[in-house]
Amino acid sequence: MSLGKVITLSSKAPMPQIGLGTWLSKPKEVESAVEIAVRNNYRHLDLAMCYENQDEVGAALKKVIPSVVKREDLFLTSKLWNTGHRPDQVERELDETLNQLGVDYLDLYLIHWPVAFVPGKGTLQPKHPSKEEAYLDLEPSIVETWKAMIALPKSKVRNIGVSNFTIEHIKALISATGVVPTVNQIEAHPLLPQDELVAFCNENDIKITAYSPLGNNLVGKPKLTDYPVVQEIAQKLGATPAQVLIAWGVYRGYIVIPKSVQEERIISNFKQIELSKEDYEAVSAVGKDNYTRFNIPYTYKPKWDINIFDEPIEKQATNKVKIN
């Protein structure tokens, strides 16, 4: 029985390198996906309040703890949603997550986005009556929220980190508090290598968790698993295209969290294969002249009218991330 490789965080905590993603895993799907994953040796689950499925994840956890796995042998990541950024909301929202999951602590808690929403308007922000926009809360800065994360009791959260943060955002947290996030969870696949951000994180011992490692989870968008070079390498190695893409992330030292609700895929995605330098470079080449970031909230419906990554389309946004 192989539980897979582990990455050691700056806190010395071991984080299993492959985890199960759960975004867009529908009710009735996510409970069985989590149970199947844990029964097939996954020890790391990637969760979030805004996926609106943590209750079901909690139901699955009840089925596997302690019969299949002890709580301390699982690594649970969850994320503070945008509506919880005000410092007095941070622990309250964490408590809600713990309650949904039915556990006493998280292994890792991330600020999901460097963007705050007005609390009390619903998690996914119903459309603004006139502008069809999310209700941004321009009051708490990311530094204020980070200070509240730092103040969370260790008994409830073992490690803290961020998600969708740029170099500028992370530098601001570090210079204001001296506390370096353990992890930055970012969109990361061959079409979005983000070499500069990755180098910055490596220099500061911030581990990268790669989300959307298979390209994305969106209907109608091209899947990296369909790219001919990925399929050719998979065939040559007797692997699946998804295994090749996961191995690409592992080659770069990432923690990788593929999402699936299908048993066969959940099982095969966990089986790590290794890429040679030549195969790694061939997969990387698909990103050349084909830079693509799929996840830009300015393009969401309802739109988040804020520039997060400084992508060309975001330059039309009215607001910037409030740093301090």
Ligand X SMILES: NC(=O)c1ccc[n+]([C@@H]2O[C@H](COP(=O)([O-])OP(=O)(O)OC[C@H]3O[C@@H](n4cnc5c(N)ncnc54)[C@H](OP(=O)(O)O)[C@@H]3O)[C@@H](O)[C@H]2O)c1
Q: Which residue has the tokens 């139901």?
A: 59
Query: How far apart (Å, rounded) are the C-alpha atoms in residues 112 and 187?
Result: 12
CA distances to 107, 129, 197, 198 from 183, rounded to whole Å, are: 12, 37, 12, 11
- Residue 168 beta carbon to ligand X: minimum distance, rounded to whole angstroms: 18
Closer of 32 and 295 to ligand X (Cβ): 295
Closer of 175 and 299 to ligand X (Cβ): 299
Which spans of this chain sit near ligand X (rule: CB under 6 A)? 21-23, 46, 112, 163-164, 185, 211-217, 225, 240, 242, 257-262, 265, 268-269, 295
Closer of 54 and 175 to ligand X (Cβ): 54
- Residue 246 beta carbon to ligand X: minimum distance, rounded to whole angstroms: 9
Query: Does 112 show up as a binding residue in the annotation?
Result: yes
> Is 109 a known active-site residue?
no
Catalytic residue, candidates 42, 51, 254, 280: 51
Say how many residues make up the chain. 324
Q: What is the CA 21 to chain-centroid distance, rounded?
A: 8
- Residue 35 beta carbon to ligand X: minimum distance, rounded to whole angstroms: 15
Q: Which residue is nearest to ligand X (CB)?
A: 21
Closer of 23 and 251 to ligand X (Cβ): 23
Contact between residue 188 and residue 194 where contact means Cβ atoms under 8 Å apart: yes
In this structure, what token pair is assigned to residue 260? Answer: 């699936």
Contact between residue 184 and residue 162 where contact means Cβ atoms under 8 Å apart: yes
- Residue 120 beta carbon to ligand X: minimum distance, rounded to whole angstroms: 22
CA dihedral 203, 80, 75, 97 (to 10 degrees): 170
Contact between residue 224 and residue 193 where contact means Cβ atoms under 8 Å apart: no
Annotated binding site for substrate: 112
Catalytic residue IDs: 51
